[in-house]
Amino acid sequence: MHSLLPNNSSQLLIGGKLVAGGNGVFETVNPATEEVIGTAANANGADMDTAIAAARTAFDNTDWSRDHAFRAHCIDQLRTALQARVEELRAITVAEAGAPIMLTSGPQLEGPIADLDFAARLAESYKWETDLGVASPMGIATHRSLRREAVGVVGAITPWNFPHQINFAKLGFALAAGNTVVLKPAPDTPWCAAAVGSIIAEHTDIPPGVINIVTSDDHGLGAQLTSDPRVDMVTFTGSTATGRAVMANAATTVKKTFLELGGKSAFLVLDDADLAKAVGFAGFSVCVHAGQGCALNTRLVVPRARYDEAVQIAAATLGGITPGDPTNPGTICGPLISDRQRARVERYLQIARDEGGRIVVGGGRPADKDRGFFIDPTVIADIDNTATVAREEIFGPVLSVIAHDGDDDAIRIANDSPYGLSGEVWSNDPDRIRHVTDRVRTGTIAVNGGIWYSADAPFGGYKQSGIGREMGVAGFEEYLETKLVATSQ
Ligand code: NAD
């Protein structure tokens, strides 16, 4: 199917070589057709051990962390090589992640590849050293120099929903900062990572061991990576539940831990906003990639006086979106990643019914499809913010509509969540917008349809949505240590 993956099977990248997995192979499945599209190398604990050793050696025994220009060259080379194979990568992404092809020209593939340029330029232009001048603490004249340097070996663990965006956001910035990396991608999307591994091995000067890519169907390899004393830092994107396990594991060796976790973001419509426009936008957005986005606004919070009208508009919007074949350029809502994920969404829909919620549109599998892990876009009404579906992340095309009693009540609802990832507010009044954006406790917040996603813009969460920021200068600095050198004069 792909020359990047000979015989429809992928390999591990360890110590600069493409190798087989110690546990043989595992199958990767097209979620739109339920067909097995091929196999991926299934690493075992010994493979992970070798990968960590390779990353350690590359960090400790080469000049990688100090040669900023060479790193920029390597990242540029990787970007160019990825761009040259973009059609193969696109086919893999659509087939394996079920990503609508429309999104692969943006955040599902080409956007994150292009964003590697921002990381490379940071490696070149970052101020690695700051002169703090001379001071005389304790009467000893001392010249102080503040240096920023790489943390060391980074263990990167990623989910399946936006595999390239998340893999490249971690790889690009960690490498630009001078680290070496062991990447363990999600078991549902091994090819998206392994195809990149084959490009790195065959088309770049990235030295052996600087990037290692270890695919496996065993989550335990992630746990191994987070507890190994040779790993200095863990960068993790995934669910909050797994994030807690990662943090606990990393604590045993006091690793720097960077977490991008789940969300339950709120879309606040104030009473002066154009309700039809706002609700239509919110409804459409929640169906993108079948709702499998951590920062999607899955709680629609509307003025109580116009609640019924808002529910009707939401129902018309989501009812008009048909989940479909992700290879079709018109599809925005493809399948869920797996049968397991669909069962999880269906479980939440049942909980909504049991708790007295009203399914206004959707609520199950599309009648016209007997293959693929599809679910109909769904609107849940007649609930408040205490409902389970308003509190927990569903990760499907499901919008819960909640009434508010004014701006402060809308803010209260937005913040009444264990999460704090993202959000949105619609209003025509700059003062009211400022009042809301000052008080909503989230890492990003959009206003009237603004887009916060960009290579130079840090992304991440408050509260149980994570620790730290990805992308932007702040994201780059997550991968740096600070060293002060004090020289007596
Ligand atoms: P997940 O937490 O189940 O798995 C994520 C990764 O962690 C996988 O690679 C998995 O193999 C690994 N893993 C599992 N158990 C582990 C352990 N004990 N130790 C170390 N690694 C372990 O998440 P998922 O289902 O793949 O992805 C969906 C979740 O990711 C959602 O909750 C979503 O909100 C979140 N997400 C967050 C962001 C963000 O930036 N905040 C972005 C995308 C997805």
pLDDT per residue over 145-196, tens digit each?
999 999 999 999 999 999 999 999 999 999 999 999 999 999 999 999 999 9
Per DSSP, helices labelled H in 13-162 are: 45-61, 68-84, 86-97, 110-125
Instruction: pLDDT band for 361, please (50, 70, 90 cuts).
Output: very high
Q: Measured from the CA of 337, which atom of ligand 1 is nearest?
A: 25
Q: Measured from the CA of 242, which atom of ligand 1 is nearest?
A: 2
Integer Cα distance of 53 and 231 in angstroms: 9
pLDDT at site 3 = 80
pLDDT tens for 434-487 read 999 999 999 999 999 999 999 999 999 999 999 999 999 999 999 999 999 999
pLDDT tens for 397-429 read 999 999 999 999 999 999 999 999 999 999 999
User: Which residue's CA is the closest to the ligand 1 atom numbered 17?
Assistant: 223
Q: Which of 260, 393, 424, 478 is catalytic?
A: 260
Strands 153-157 and 233-237: parallel
User: Which residue's CA is the closest to the ligand 1 atom numbered 35?
Assistant: 238
- Average pLDDT over all residues of the chain: 98
In the predicted model, what is the mean pLDDT of residues 68-84?
A: 98
> What CATH architecture is 9-261+466-488?
3-Layer(aba) Sandwich (3.40)
pLDDT tens for 238-280 read 999 999 999 999 999 999 999 999 999 999 999 999 999 999 9
Residue 158 Cα to ligand 1 midpoint, Å, equals 6
User: Which residue's CA is the closest to the ligand 1 atom numbered 30?
Assistant: 238
User: Which residue's CA is the closest to the ligand 1 atom numbered 11?
Assistant: 219
**In a mutational test of the pocket of ligand 1, which residue from 166, 183, 219, 344 has the highest number of ligand atoms less than 8 Å from its CB?**
219
Closest of 102, 87, 98, 99 to residue 33, by C-alpha: 98
Q: Measured from the CA of 219, which atom of ligand 1 is nearest?
A: 11
Q: Is the pLDDT of residue 1 over 80?
A: no
**In a mutational test of the pocket of ligand 1, which residue from 48, 242, 471 has the highest number of ligand atoms less than 8 Å from its CB?**
242
CA end-to-end span of the chain: 66
Q: Measured from the CA of 187, which atom of ligand 1 is nearest?
A: 11
Share of the chain above pLDDT 90, in %: 99
* Cα radius of gyration (the chain): 23
- Catalytic-residue membership of 393: no
Give 108's DSSP letter.
Answer: T
Helix (H, G, I), strand (E, B) or coil at 153: strand
Residue 424 Cα to ligand 1 midpoint, Å, equals 24
Instruction: pLDDT band for 68, please (50, 70, 90 cuts).
Output: very high
**In a mutational test of the pocket of ligand 1, which residue from 42, 184, 239 has the highest number of ligand atoms less than 8 Å from its CB?**
239
Helix (H, G, I), strand (E, B) or coil at 194: helix
Residue 237 Cα to ligand 1 midpoint, Å, equals 5
Residue 128 Cα to ligand 1 midpoint, Å, equals 32
Residue 215 Cα to ligand 1 midpoint, Å, equals 14
Which residues have C-beta atoms less than 6 Å from ligand 1?
Answer: 157-162, 166, 184, 186-187, 219, 222-223, 226, 237-239, 242, 245-246, 260-263, 294, 393, 395, 421, 461, 466
- State in words which class domain 266-447 has: alpha beta
Residue 331 Cα to ligand 1 midpoint, Å, equals 25
Sign of the alpha-carbon torsion through 43, 47, 49, 52: negative
**Parts of the chain belonging to CATH 3.40.605.10:** 9-261+466-488
